[in-house]
Amino acid sequence: MRSLFILFAMVLAPMAQACGADSDCTVGERVYRISLPEGSGPPMGAVVWAHGYRGTAAGVMRNGSLRRMVHEQGLALIALQGVNGSWDLPNGPRTPDSTGAAEFAYIEQVIKDTQTRFGIDPAQLVASGFSAGGMLVWSLACARPELFTGFVPFSGTYWLEPPYSCAFPVASIIHIHGDRDGTVPLLGRQIGPTKQGEVPQALAHYSDHGNFGPLSEATEGPLECTRSTNDTGAALELCLFEGGHSFRTEHLSYALDRLKAGRGR
């Protein structure tokens, strides 16, 4: 009888450890979710997505359009999960003294865990996120640029103002924002004791940091983009669309194509 119990436990153990798009993967005291494209094996790259305020990794995975587009790019979708739907970021309304270190450590854990469990290639990762998640993406681009091949923040930048300085290597950043966003305006708005940052200020700060060159303009479907590059081939773009506080899958698809093109130079 005891032998049968041990055998039964061994069979159930992998099932208990399974996780993915419909169940949480645990790292320390935090979780994330992951969706893999059918027919693809390791190693593969991934989009690491940060949800907006009060969002969830499970909610991200319910966005079928997002999952399909990321998979069509040959990438996995990794959905991060904030604590109680929020991110611990510098100058935030509830985190005025934060350095962001807790979130950076969590993301490093997720990257390592997905490499071990699913064969995700840590050299082929793009960070993206919407609203408060976009704020996390900007903070990552400044503090941990070596973790990702590019950054695509939507409708959110630093709280209050850019950090004093950013780390190297210089990253590619494609920022996408609605031109009539009233929730996170391009110039921010007051939230309790702090303020949302100003997108032009963040871009100017990073342009100086990365020694980006002259600006050019381009129309890409519904996006009006202002672009610059530097001597390393890194790209810095602001792309505006007509509308408010929203995310569209095709805009992320555009950004992923731009990042691929940059890596191919």
Query: pLDDT-derived band of residue 262, with 50, 70 and 90 as boundaries?
Result: confident
Q: What CATH architecture is 20-263?
A: 3-Layer(aba) Sandwich (3.40)
pLDDT in tens, 146-161: 999 999 999 999 999 9
Average pLDDT rounded to a whole number, residues 211-234: 97
What is the distance between the alpha carbons of residues 39 and 71, in angstroms, rounded to a whole number?
A: 10
- Lookup result for tokens 């590019």: 150
Q: Which long-range contacts (CB under 8 A, 24 or more apart) does 207-214 make?
A: 207/236, 209/165, 209/166, 209/170, 210/170, 210/171, 210/234, 210/236, 211/170, 212/236
42 or 94: which carries more pLDDT confidence? 94
Residue-wise pLDDT for 68-127, tens only, equals 999 999 999 999 999 999 999 999 999 999 999 999 999 999 999 999 999 999 999 999
pLDDT band at 15; cut points 50, 70, 90: very low
Kindly report the average pLDDT of the chain as a whole number: 93
Closest of 165, 128, 149, 109 to residue 248, by C-alpha: 128
pLDDT at 13 over 70: no
Model confidence at 164: pLDDT above 70: yes
Q: What gap in Å lies between CA 44 and CA 77, rounded to an integer? A: 11
* pLDDT exceeds 50 at position 7: no
| Domain segments of the chain as ranges | 20-263
Question: What pLDDT is stored for residue 11 in this prediction?
Answer: 40
The three-state (H, E, C) secondary structure of the chain, written as one string:
CHHHHHHHHHHHHHHHHCCCCCCCEEECCEEEEEECCCCCCCCEEEEEEECCCCCCHHHHHCCHHHHHHHHHCCCEEEEECCECCECCCCCCCCCCCCCCHHHHHHHHHHHHHHHHHHCEEEEEEEEEEECHHHHHHHHHHHHCHHHCCEEEEECCCCECCCCCCCCCCCCCEEEEEECCCCCCCCCCCEECCEEECCHHHHHHHHHHHHCCCCCEEEEECCEEEEEEECCCCCEEEEEEECCCCCCCHHHHHHHHHHHHHHHCC
Average pLDDT over residues 43-62: 97
Q: What is the token pair recorded at 53?
A: 């305020």
Tell me the percentage of the chain whose pLDDT exceeds 70.
92
- Flag whether the pTM goes above 0.75: yes
Integer Cα distance of 233 and 97 in angstroms: 35
Average pLDDT over residues 30-51: 93
pLDDT of 8 strictly over 60: no
Write down the pLDDT at residue 261.
82
Q: Is the model more confident about 264 or about 228?
A: 228
Residue 142 scores a pLDDT above 70 = yes
pLDDT at 6 over 90: no
Condensed to tens digits (0 to 9), the pLDDT of residues 28-38 reads: 999 999 999 99
Structure tokens at 63: 């966005």
Q: How many CB atoms lie within 10 A of CB 117?
A: 15
Q: Give the pLDDT score at 263.
A: 64
Average pLDDT over residues 175-203: 98
